[in-house]
Structure 1
Amino acid sequence: MENVTAVTPLKQPIMFELEGFHVPPGYGYLLFFLALFNYLVTLLGNGVVVSVIVIDKSLHRPMFVMVCNLVVCDLLGSTAMLPRLMVHFLTGQKKIAYVTAIAQAFSVHTYGVAVQTILGAMAYDRYVAVCEPLRYHTIMTSVRLHSCLALAWCTAVLCIAVLFAFHVNIPLCGNTIRHVYCSNRAILNLACGPTPLNNIYGLSMTWTVSTAIFLIIAFSYFRILHASVKQGRAESMAPNKAFQTCASHLVVYGFYEIASVVLILSQRFPSVSQNIKNFFSILFIIIPPAINPIIYGLVSKELRTSIIKHFSIKISHNK
């Protein structure tokens, strides 16, 4: 007769232990400074973008208001992970309290969904701007703008809130998270039994949101392409003027989707080492927020001109 080992649920409060990365001796400080550098670049770049948009009244338009919301979303993702990761690299501290772990996981997942929903709202704004230029200000009013953004944020927060509501009554029989940060899947892996409802909801929610946003963006750009080609024929000019106003949005969305595909593929192949999977997981969160301000500045001529103008004024005043 086989011996069955009883699995006893852990009592609250639980202290998790993060075992995602093996940091070789002597590399902790190097990794700390790399993470610190990335975080400072993220804060500086996104801070400049927000400051210039707030100061320059000519940028008080729906497109740039949505950029500000995307910046806030990027800062949420970076701040949820990088400070904790820096503490790990610097001190070797791997323990994290249950409440802190849930808060980190909630923020990381909210970041992932909110990026998509905000990019979907931005696609709608660009569609109206290009396809209905004469009616743009009557369609994209302040009320509709803030309604779109509220819908984007509420969708993200509510989807993740429901996801984590399932955690309330799930007994955990382990406290070692084999990841560099806390996530829904990493915590559920510690459950004493199967969690089919969580898995079904998580996969369904991810598929539904990603597919809906992709369809919104695909429809918007199909209409934008059709309108720009039609306008180009009518005016005997290349149909690239419309896409100049959409370029930053398209590049950011494309970069985010590429990062998502790389992350998903790396998680699906057992032959890929855990360190590489964790590395891609980190890049997915820290690289887009650091790169996005550069994309806005390089692609958006209005924003780039405003940044240069305000920095030139600041330098001239300091002389």
Structure 2
Amino acid sequence: MNNLVNSSTLTSPLTLEGFIVPEESRAPLFIITFFIYIIIFVENVIILFVIISHRSLHAPMYLMLCNMTVCDLIGSTALMPRLMSDFLRDVRLISFEACIIQAFCIHMYSTTAQFILVVMAFDRYIAICRPLRYNAIMTTKTTAKLCSLAWGGAFVLIVILLALTIRLPRCKSLVVHAYCFNGALFVLSCADTTINNIYGLFVSYFITGLSLSVMAWTYAKILIACLFQSQHNCKTKAIHTCATHLVSYIVFEITILFAVMALRFPNITPNATKAMGTLTITIPPCLNPVIYGINTKEIRNNILKIFKNKIMSNNK
């Protein structure tokens, strides 16, 4: 009998619990989610287009920003279209394969984003602390290697993470969250998940520890370099150069903190926990283009030039 149950569970689709909301609230939530996704998509595509189409922006920092933009699009696209469809359905079924793909994309987004932020921090360190050697160190080839390492490292970590989950037999089918991720998937098994817990904690602490360590080290070096610079305009330029990256990193880490804290406090309502879990996949992709577009003069000027040319061509 147990074998029949296990076999049936393994082949049956999963159910995403999603947000528990009244029926009259589903349409407004669908519309809000739709507009947020459109904003994220349009913002990131504009940044991507501007950087790719202007050779003057093919510098290491902007190429890294391209990688961040692609990463943001992967994360938001893995979450929001599915979330929109779930607001319109009573029964939110999803195949195990589709759930694994969604979990893979979301984990790839969060892991790669942190690695790319680490690479950006290293780039800022070289630019400010080793300005005379910057062009020799941060070549296009070096930038490509660092970004490839960020994506490749994330890929290996996440494939192992999900492979450990896929091997487990399932005896439950309800995913108690708004989307699929590793922590919500391996608890569907009634088998021993000690290895999954240990490896999951290792990945989390490794990624967070690496990003915090590199950020602390690079910005300590940058701060010391700024203190010893006698020219005021050099200090201002250094601070302005780092501001966008630091704000982007802080926003990302704060959203992660909210998501983690929500899971640790049982008195928080399920809907609030799920909402905080989606912050990391919606807030940074929405704010990053604004942060870089407003604070980076080169990107801002090129975006304004594109819109100005578009308006002038329409008026002819």
Q: Output the TM-score relative to the length of structure 1.
A: 0.94
Quote the offset at 1:198 in angstroms.
Answer: 0.5
> Is 1:239–2:209 an aligned residue pair?
no
Partner of 1:85: 83
> Is 1:138–2:136 an aligned residue pair?
yes
Partner of 1:116: 114
Letter paired with 2:295:
V
Give the counterpart of 1:316 among 273, 294, 312.
Answer: 312
Q: Report the secondary structure of 2:14's partner residue.
A: strand
Partner of 1:52: 50
Q: Report the secondary structure of 1:17's partner residue.
A: strand
- Conserved? CA contact 2:79–2:106, under 8 Å: yes
Quote the offset at 1:168 in angstroms.
Answer: 3.1
Give the counterpart of 1:216 among 200, 214, 217.
Answer: 214
Give the counterpart of 2:292 among 296, 309, 314.
Answer: 296
Partner of 1:105: 103
> How many angstroms apart in 1 are the aligned matches of 2:29 and 2:19?
11
> How many angstroms apart in 2 are the aligned matches of 1:312 and 1:20?
43
> How many angstroms apart in 1 are the aligned matches of 2:77 and 2:122?
28
Partner of 2:271: 275
Partner of 1:196: 194
Q: Report the secondary structure of 2:85's partner residue.
A: helix
Letter paired with 1:56:
H
Give the counterpart of 1:249 among 245, 250, 261.
Answer: 245
Quote the offset at 1:239 in angstroms.
Answer: 2.4
Letter paired with 1:312:
K
Quote the offset at 1:236 in angstroms.
Answer: 5.3
Q: Which segments of structure 1 move beyond 6 Å, counting only runs of 4 or more? A: none
Partner of 2:6: 9
- Conserved? CA contact 1:188–1:195, under 8 Å: yes
Q: Output the TM-score relative to the length of structure 2.
A: 0.95
Q: Report the secondary structure of 1:192's partner residue.
A: coil
Partner of 1:75: 73
- Conserved? CA contact 2:176–2:184, under 8 Å: yes
1:202-255 per-residue CA deviation (whole Å, 9 max, x = no partner) reads 001110111011111111111111111211xx2355722201111111000000
How is 1:163-178 mapped onto 2 (pairs within 5 angstroms)? 163-178=161-176
RMSD: 1.5
Quote the offset at 1:167 in angstroms.
Answer: 2.2
Structure 2 regions of 5+ residues with no counterpart?
Answer: none
> How many angstroms apart in 1 are the aligned matches of 2:93 and 2:35?
24
1:117-168 per-residue CA deviation (whole Å, 9 max, x = no partner) reads 0000011111111111111111001111100000000111110001011123
Give the counterpart of 2:205 among 201, 204, 207.
Answer: 207
Partner of 2:31: 33
Letter paired with 1:30:
P
Greater fraction of residues in helix:
2
Quote the offset at 1:91 in angstroms.
Answer: 3.1
Quote the offset at 1:296 in angstroms.
Answer: 0.8
Letter paired with 1:84:
R
Q: Which moved more, 1:94-103 or 1:285-294?
A: 285-294
Q: Report the secondary structure of 1:38's partner residue.
A: helix
> Is 1:285–2:287 an aligned residue pair?
no
Quote the offset at 1:10 in angstroms.
Answer: 4.2
- Conserved? CA contact 2:255–2:283, under 8 Å: no
> How many angstroms apart in 2 are the aligned matches of 1:237 and 1:72?
33
Quote the offset at 1:27 in angstroms.
Answer: 1.3
> How many angstroms apart in 2 are the aligned matches of 1:284 and 1:10?
35
Q: How many residues align?
A: 313
Structure 1 regions of 5+ residues with no counterpart?
Answer: none
> How many angstroms apart in 2 are the aligned matches of 1:168 and 1:94?
21
Q: Report the secondary structure of 2:67's partner residue.
A: helix
1:92-129 per-residue CA deviation (whole Å, 9 max, x = no partner) reads 34000010000001111111111100000011111111
> How many angstroms apart in 2 are the aligned matches of 1:169 and 1:52?
43
Q: Report the secondary structure of 2:190's partner residue.
A: coil
Quote the offset at 1:61 in angstroms.
Answer: 0.4
1:180-218 per-residue CA deviation (whole Å, 9 max, x = no partner) reads 111111111110223000100000111011101111111
